[in-house]
Structure 1
Amino acid sequence: MKRTDDTPADPVERARLLRRVHSAVLSGQRAPQAPRPVVFESWRRSLAASVDPERWEPPVVFGSDRLAEVRAAHPLAACVPLLRRTLLDAADGTTHIMIVTDADGNILWREGHPNVCRAADRVHLAEGTTWSESSIGTNAMGTTLATGRAVQIHSAEHLVRRYHSWTCAASPVHDPETGRILGAIDLSGPLHTMHPALPALVSAAATLVESTLRDWMARRDDRLRERHRDVLRSLRGEPGALLSSSGRVIAAEPGDLGLPERVELDRPDGALLLGGREALIEPLDDGYLLRAPRQATAVTAPEPPARRAPTLRLRFLTSRPVAELRGREVSLSPRRAELLAVLALRPDGVNAEQLALALHGEQGNPVTVRAEIHRLRTQLGHDVVHTKPYRLAADVDADFLDLRAALRAGRLDAALELHRGALLPSSEAPAVRDEREDLITGLRGAVLAARDPELLWRLADGPAGSDDIEVHEVLLTLLATHDWRRPTITARLKRLLHDPS
């Protein structure tokens, strides 16, 4: 084979050589040149994942209805304008597109030259699709996420033949808070647009984003220290530390506690040894306080009583779902409300696959669910949402659980009082939808079976029975001749029969 440094400089000539290399290697023949090691290793990983070089459609994981929500929740969302200025505005007229993915290779943003965007649409290089190596084979975005290094993939270095007319360069972006990869930044375009500076430009953009994220993290740390500066002082000599939401130590008193850079938050009952004593991890609004009280028992002594779990109240049978934690209302997006509903319905816990099925059905992606759980834990606290399995560690007080219990106990008066509305009526999550229908069906069936006019009136006058013809018909047969409600029920029934919609 020829040495790899004999590769032609002209991108079109190089593409011709790479196509011969691609065909030879995949057919087991002698190649005119060895693939670059990063490409060969990527081909091997991709083929091991059963990627077919003749298959060219990446899977779609986010529809247009979910894309805005997923984007808004991603840590790189605030950096997209910066990337636009760096990679697109500064090179007006470039024949490339800028792509930003999440850590799983899902394309969240794609912007750039209109003609290139149209060409990308034809090969499904589009927002909402997955470009991990295991999904679509060797490509700059997937390979940079797999290796954690900046990568350029040109022409037939792509495993899937459909993309041999494309060139791309990508670089990973790391979270300064956790060190984990947040996603990839990529420039892609027709192979004739290849330029030697392309990888350097993308790497510089990734470095700029990481630097920006680091600056923002430092500012958050400063605000957290300022907001809770009196907390450490109030310990009055007890060893303690202020932690970020991920457990990173940002302040300690005294300063030489010998703590690691990051404290593992997922510990039984928050237990941790600090200065030879058992420490406590206590949640703050935007972080945690780690402290070792003087009255803490020595390591060899019997374990102290477990701390009382926080109370999480969920009011999801209303027009607007409300959650309260430790007496304070928590702002909920529709997706997080669904997450809490499913976790409340599964008190023994679920794994990522089960949670993905409950939230998204057969198309659910466990990787996406893990990211959603991570954001929920950051908001509520690691002591409220546990992992392995995913479950709520708080004392849950949920109106929909109370309604279910009332129905099972035959307490129909209490059930009608609780059912002020359907459970998250706009949710299409399979587990939520099933529970919503079960509650309405159960309430309706129990009240009809009781044949009590007072209960039937309350059902007909509420959200579960206001448009139910059978409920009104049965109630009409049970009401006394001179009951003041008969004319009302008769009028409603007439409207329902003439306009059942």
Structure 2
Amino acid sequence: MVDISMRYFDESSGDPLRQARLLEQVHAAVLGGDEAAGDRVPGKRGEQCSPRPVVVESWRRSLAARIDPNGWQPPVEFESSALPEIRAEHPLAECVPLLRETLLDAAGDTPHIMIVTDAAGTILWREGNPEVCRKADDVLLSEGTRWSEDAIGTNAMGTTLATGSPVRIHSAEHLVCTYHAWTCAASPVHDPETGAVLGSIDVSGPLHTMHPALTALVTAAARLAENRLTDRMRREHERVRQRHLPSLRALRGEPGALLGPRGHVLETTSNELTLPERVELDRPESGIAVGDDRWIVLEPLPEGYLLRAPRRNRSPRGGATGVRRAPEAAAARSTLRLGLMSEYPTAELDGNRLRLGTRHAELLAALSLRPAGVSSEQLALLVHGERGNPVTVRAEIHRLRNQIGCAVVRTKPYRLDASTETDFHDVREALGEGAVRSALALHGAGLLPGSEAPVVREEREELAAGLRSAVLSSEDPDLLWSYASTEHGRDDIEVLEQLLSLLARDDWRRAGARARLTRLLRDP
């Protein structure tokens, strides 16, 4: 790889077009293999100019990812039809109106666009000047495309996610030549509870629109978004605290704490426990100081957890899932009940019912069908097919864990750590026991009828085929009529023919079945 360690480019010039011309020379010379090129490219008042250190390091990472500077396009991660649901589930969704007001409405007709990405660098929102949006479409700077450094090289969104710091990328500081006519500034947005990066906020536009305050403006917008998320977190924590204070008081002096859904400590009962601000739910004993005669027990609650530290000569209460237990202590797992045989899927965790979006329902279906666990690559294939991307799946699982709970949806490998019950397993059991009428009632519209996830489609087709075979084998006219009244059996010629052979001549259902069969045989 060419050595691109050079004295940095002077970015203090107020002329963005002049800077762009100089950067083009540096870009062409350095990436062309001339290690001393920067020393011969004149900068302001005759100084030498070279890529800034942040750009040098980003170019190194991008070239190591085999990005071609002369011709590259960002990959499309999400089709436009999938974006509404993905946006609705993303934590930054509630911040978009605030960001729009801060970065667009206040700027009037400024030729800029505002972009918000997820943590993987995929653009979820893009708004702003219509003409700039049209130009952005021409270079795939559009919603659903991924702009991480390993996908499209040095750019403000990808580089701010790689470094964790605000950054401005101007003209030929972009590694890929296609974007040398653009200037952009971006800042990461962090989850106020976990510190994890949620995504980035970016302002982009034609290179002549560069302004020295652009980076500061985007950074301020990111802080406003984090403040909005912090306010929401505090409201949620207070709601959970008020809801579950009786559970904490029921400990009657036993050392314990009430935790939020992601482990944030909301309330404690005593000073005997030394707790961090946030407990790692995968390793709840980490960072917690307890005496030798105690162990850590974590009990799931709706929207939170109860952490206890009982003495070893006492048994944990029923329902606890402990990470340090007395030898005789038996821990009951949480119960997760999935209702996926309908148009509106749900999950019920320990009695608390949650409405599921299609993608979360598909992930939970896949994990329940692979109880031993799967890798991100395997899960991507199960849910998205051959076009599946492990990066996308990791982001989706992160959002699912925020909704269901980290103690239930585990990682490495991805799996469900709960006593899982599903309505589609109920259908299988009923068929296996010969309870065809029960299976038919449970089957309804089928497993996630609108889903095209391969793992869901395969299970749905197997269940439908098994149910149909059981109905035909029953030779029960009442059961055949019930099946013929469903969406699956309504236009099934074989079912109608067998039904007619079994119905009595004076049965009122006979005329309707014959009319339907005649129509199916007549119409191609």
8 Å CA contact retained: 2:275, 2:287: no
Cα distance 1:113–1:417, how it changes in 2: closer, same or farther (>3 A)? closer
What amino acid is aligned across from residue 315 of structure 1 in structure 2?
A: G
Mapping of residues 235-250 of structure 1, within 5 Å: 235-250=251-266
Which whole-Å CA distance do the structure 2 matches of 1:255 and 1:164 have between them? 59
Cα distance 1:229–1:313, how it changes in 2: closer, same or farther (>3 A)? closer
Of the structure 1 ranges 263-272 and 29-38, higher mean CA displacement relative to structure 2 is found in 263-272
Mapping of residues 199-238 of structure 1, within 5 Å: 199-238=215-254
Cα distance 1:231–1:324, how it changes in 2: closer, same or farther (>3 A)? closer
Paired position in structure 2 for 1:341: 365
- Percent identity, aligned pairs only, is 62
Cα distance 1:221–1:80, how it changes in 2: closer, same or farther (>3 A)? same
**Could you state the TM-score of these two structures normalised by the residue count of structure 2?**
0.88
8 Å CA contact retained: 2:113, 2:128: yes
2:23 paired with 1:14: no
Instruction: Provide Cα deviations, 1:260-305, integer angstroms capped at 9, x if missing partner.
Output: 2221212499998744311211122222111123554699985233
Specify the SS of the correspondent of 1:359: helix
Of the structure 1 ranges 369-378 and 345-354, higher mean CA displacement relative to structure 2 is found in 369-378
Which whole-Å CA distance do the structure 2 matches of 1:402 and 1:99 have between them? 45
Which whole-Å CA distance do the structure 1 matches of 2:209 and 2:504 have between them? 84
Paired position in structure 2 for 1:261: 277
Mapping of residues 74-473 of structure 1, within 5 Å: 74-255=90-271, 257-267=273-283, 274-276=290-292, 277-294=294-311, 296=314, 302-408=326-432, 411-449=435-473, 451=475, 453=477, 455-473=479-497
Which whole-Å CA distance do the structure 2 matches of 1:41 and 1:453 have between them? 74
Instruction: Provide Cα deviations, 1:101-140, integer angstroms capped at 9, x if missing partner.
Output: 1111011111111111111111111111111001000000
Specify the SS of the correspondent of 1:228: helix
Q: How far is 1:423 from its partner?
A: 1.2
Cα distance 1:17–1:58, how it changes in 2: closer, same or farther (>3 A)? same
8 Å CA contact retained: 2:343, 2:450: no
Specify the SS of the correspondent of 1:283: strand
Which whole-Å CA distance do the structure 2 matches of 1:198 and 1:243 have between them? 40
Specify the SS of the correspondent of 1:52: coil
Which whole-Å CA distance do the structure 2 matches of 1:6 and 1:208 have between them? 27
Q: How far is 1:5 from its partner?
A: 3.1
8 Å CA contact retained: 1:297, 1:303: no
Which whole-Å CA distance do the structure 2 matches of 1:410 and 1:194 have between them? 72
Of the structure 1 ranges 305-314 and 355-364, higher mean CA displacement relative to structure 2 is found in 305-314
Which whole-Å CA distance do the structure 1 matches of 2:463 and 2:439 have between them? 10
Q: How far is 1:86 from its partner?
A: 1.3
Which whole-Å CA distance do the structure 2 matches of 1:485 and 1:214 have between them? 62
Which whole-Å CA distance do the structure 1 matches of 2:163 and 2:424 have between them? 46
Specify the SS of the correspondent of 2:240: helix
Which whole-Å CA distance do the structure 2 matches of 1:482 and 1:354 have between them? 56
Over aligned residue pairs, what C-alpha RMSD do you find? 2.7
Specify the SS of the correspondent of 1:5: coil
Instruction: Provide Cα deviations, 1:13-62, integer angstroms capped at 9, x if missing partner.
Output: 11111111111111111323321111111111111111111223211111
Instruction: Provide Cα deviations, 1:356-411, integer angstroms capped at 9, x if missing partner.
Output: 22111122222222232233223323332222222222222222112223445555
Q: How far is 1:421 from its partner?
A: 2.5
Which whole-Å CA distance do the structure 1 matches of 2:158 and 2:263 have between them? 29
Which whole-Å CA distance do the structure 1 matches of 2:68 and 2:255 have between them? 58
What amino acid is aligned across from residue 50 of structure 2 in structure 1?
A: A
Paired position in structure 1 for 2:56: 40
What amino acid is aligned across from residue 100 of structure 1 in structure 2?
A: V
Which whole-Å CA distance do the structure 1 matches of 2:334 and 2:235 have between them? 29
Cα distance 1:286–1:270, how it changes in 2: closer, same or farther (>3 A)? farther
8 Å CA contact retained: 1:351, 1:388: yes
Cα distance 1:255–1:213, how it changes in 2: closer, same or farther (>3 A)? farther
Paired position in structure 2 for 1:496: 520
Cα distance 1:387–1:6, how it changes in 2: closer, same or farther (>3 A)? closer
Cα distance 1:246–1:489, how it changes in 2: closer, same or farther (>3 A)? same
8 Å CA contact retained: 1:351, 1:389: yes
Which whole-Å CA distance do the structure 2 matches of 1:268 and 1:12 have between them? 55
Q: How far is 1:471 from its partner?
A: 1.4
Cα distance 1:313–1:216, how it changes in 2: closer, same or farther (>3 A)? closer
Cα distance 1:3–1:428, how it changes in 2: closer, same or farther (>3 A)? closer
Specify the SS of the correspondent of 2:296: strand
Cα distance 1:195–1:256, how it changes in 2: closer, same or farther (>3 A)? farther
Of the structure 1 ranges 435-444 and 11-20, higher mean CA displacement relative to structure 2 is found in 435-444
Cα distance 1:133–1:451, how it changes in 2: closer, same or farther (>3 A)? same
Q: How far is 1:217 from its partner?
A: 2.3
8 Å CA contact retained: 1:22, 1:157: yes
8 Å CA contact retained: 1:272, 1:278: no
Specify the SS of the correspondent of 1:4: coil
Q: How far is 1:496 from its partner?
A: 2.5
Paired position in structure 1 for 2:30: 25
Unpaired segments ≥5 residues, structure 1 = none
Paired position in structure 1 for 2:320: none
Which whole-Å CA distance do the structure 2 matches of 1:300 and 1:423 have between them? 39
What amino acid is aligned across from residue 138 of structure 1 in structure 2?
A: T
Instruction: Provide Cα deviations, 1:325-370, integer angstroms capped at 9, x if missing partner.
Output: 3234322222222222222211222222212221111222222222
How many pairs are equivalent?
500
Cα distance 1:238–1:157, how it changes in 2: closer, same or farther (>3 A)? same
Which whole-Å CA distance do the structure 2 matches of 1:47 and 1:427 have between them? 39
Specify the SS of the correspondent of 2:99: helix
Of the structure 1 ranges 177-186 and 335-344, higher mean CA displacement relative to structure 2 is found in 335-344
8 Å CA contact retained: 2:171, 2:207: yes
Which whole-Å CA distance do the structure 2 matches of 1:121 and 1:313 have between them? 44
Of the structure 1 ranges 394-403 and 225-234, higher mean CA displacement relative to structure 2 is found in 225-234
What amino acid is aligned across from residue 292 of structure 1 in structure 2?
A: A
Which whole-Å CA distance do the structure 2 matches of 1:157 and 1:288 have between them? 48
Unpaired segments ≥5 residues, structure 2 = 1-5, 42-48, 317-322
